[in-house]
Amino acid sequence: MMDKKVFFLLGFIMFLTMTGYGIVLPTLPFIADDLGLSSFQMGSLITGWAVSQLITAPIWGRFADKMGRKPVLLFGLFGFGVAFIILILAQSYWQLLIARIIGAALSSGTHPAVFSMVADFSTPKNRNLSMAQMGALNGLGFLCGPAVGGLFTPFGIIVPFIVAGSLALITIPLAWIFIKEPMEKEAQIDENENPSFWGSITMVAKTGYWDLYTITLGLSIAASSFFGLLGYFMIARYDASALYVSLAFSAQAGTSVTVQFFLLKKLYDVFDEEKLSKIGLSIVTIGFAIIATAPVPWMVIIGCILTGFGQACVRPTVISLLSKRGEMGQGITMGLQQSMDSLGRILGPLWGGWIFVYLVPGPFLTSALITFLLLIMMLVNSERQLHLPSVGERKSRM
């Protein structure tokens, strides 16, 4: 069982990093407006962060397997703090873009290191719940980020960045003192393997667990398209107020956090991971379909609740399955998982924004189609893929 102090500190790091991300999203447009940036330039600042994470997360994951989780975690926290300092100093579009890219590259090892440590310190029996709780803290941080930004912005537009960066730097000595490197080192790392993103894709193809990464990518595309276009959709279709839009977002995020914190343990007692993933994808699909076809705005909120519930069942379960079945080392496994998530956050808003111009409910119809196809894939591959023995089980048979 994981030490409670370690779990709390790892959870705080997850919460802190996503709070920082949540602070940036609503605050960055005001900085961009002060600099006279176009909407395209504003969008590129968001995309630049995701692309940088896409490329660098597997590399940091590889380093976590070779050098240890703790050094990568500490450097990631340092990079996260430095990212905000660079952002504060930026005085032009190109400086902002470079700050975002460098910040993402320096800090992208944080999440792979945290999830790898959770996998190392937890047992296969309680790993799914541990991953779910980390995911809940991740979502809670994203939910609290805008609120934290709103709390400190009256003192200056850069004050929220200073607070988030300072907390990250203060956390470094705490992590150094209380978090110990896992005793067992990864032994299955091939020194000749390419640690780049495309090299990692090749490694996935060799292991045969591409379906779990496909679920990660597909769900990320569907969710990011949903998050990126929900507000525009509600305004265009229902002339909804800012309060209604906020309620919809809060319903989705609040449901997801609540399920992961308080309900998943009971669900894991009733359903195995594969079955719960299928149930979750089914619920997400229904939720997106309701949003796309809702005649009144309160039905959109019901759809948001369903998508939050379903995603809370799928995301931590897939991460847990990856940690149990990954053959590449926990670091590279979690790094590639984050890369797939980042790639989805790039593609989702681009696709959603394009199709929204031609069909207002299009982003949600296609999100429903994506999650439905993921469900079909799981049903087809369940026996061949998700029931493959874990790395430990295969070794025991040798």
Q: Which CATH number fits domain 194-386: 1.10.510.10, 1.10.260.40, 1.20.1250.20, 1.10.1670.10?
A: 1.20.1250.20
Provide mean pLDDT across the span 332-342: 82
pLDDT digits (tens, 9 = 90+) for 178-218: 888 876 544 444 445 555 555 556 665 565 677 888 999 99
- Where helices occur in the chain by DSSP H, the ranges are 4-34, 39-67, 69-89, 93-107, 110-121, 127-152, 159-178, 197-207, 210-238, 242-258, 264-270, 273-293, 297-325, 330-358, 362-381, 391-397
Provide mean pLDDT across the span 327-352: 81
Nearest alpha carbon to residue 207 among 332, 64, 315, 68 = 332
Q: Is the dihedral of CA 279, 280, 286, 289 positive or negative?
A: negative
Structure tokens at 224: 């990011």
Please check the confidence at residue 231 and state whether its pLDDT lies above 90.
no
DSSP letter at 183 equals S
Pick the range with the lowest mean pLDDT from 296-300, 323-327, 383-387.
Answer: 383-387
CA 81 from chain centre, in angstroms, equals 19
| pTM of the model as a whole | 0.77
Residue 398, exposed/middle/buried by CB under 10 A (0-12, 13-18, 19+)? exposed
Residue labelled with tokens 């591959």: 381
Please check the confidence at residue 14 and state whether its pLDDT lies above 50.
yes
Please check the confidence at residue 382 and state whether its pLDDT lies above 80.
no
Please check the confidence at residue 51 and state whether its pLDDT lies above 80.
yes
**109 and 88 in contact (C-beta within 8 Å)?**
no
What residue spans define the domains of the chain? 1-180, 194-386
Cα distances (angstroms) measured from residue 363 to each of 226, 245, 311, 347, 396: 7, 16, 17, 12, 46
Provide mean pLDDT across the span 339-360: 88
**CATH fold of 1-180, please?**
Growth Hormone; Chain: A; (1.20.1250)
pLDDT digits (tens, 9 = 90+) for 116-138: 888 888 877 777 788 888 878 88
Q: What is the pLDDT of residue 163?
A: 87
- How many C-beta neighbours within 10 Å does residue 35 have? 15
Q: What is the pLDDT of residue 358?
A: 92
pLDDT digits (tens, 9 = 90+) for 258-279: 998 889 889 988 998 889 999 9
**204 and 210 in contact (C-beta within 8 Å)?**
yes
Determine the 3-state secondary structure of 92 from DSSP: coil
Whether 1-180 shares its CATH topology with 194-386 is answered: yes
pLDDT digits (tens, 9 = 90+) for 60-109: 888 888 888 899 999 999 998 988 888 888 889 999 999 889 888 888 88
Torsion of CA 261, 262, 268, 271, to 10 degrees: -120
| Rounded CA separation 291/297 (Å) | 9
| Rounded CA separation 390/398 (Å) | 13
User: What percent of the chain has pLDDT above 90?
Assistant: 25
| Rounded CA separation 366/188 (Å) | 39
Q: Is the dihedral of CA 255, 291, 280, 207 positive or negative?
A: negative
- What average pLDDT does the structure give for the chain? 83
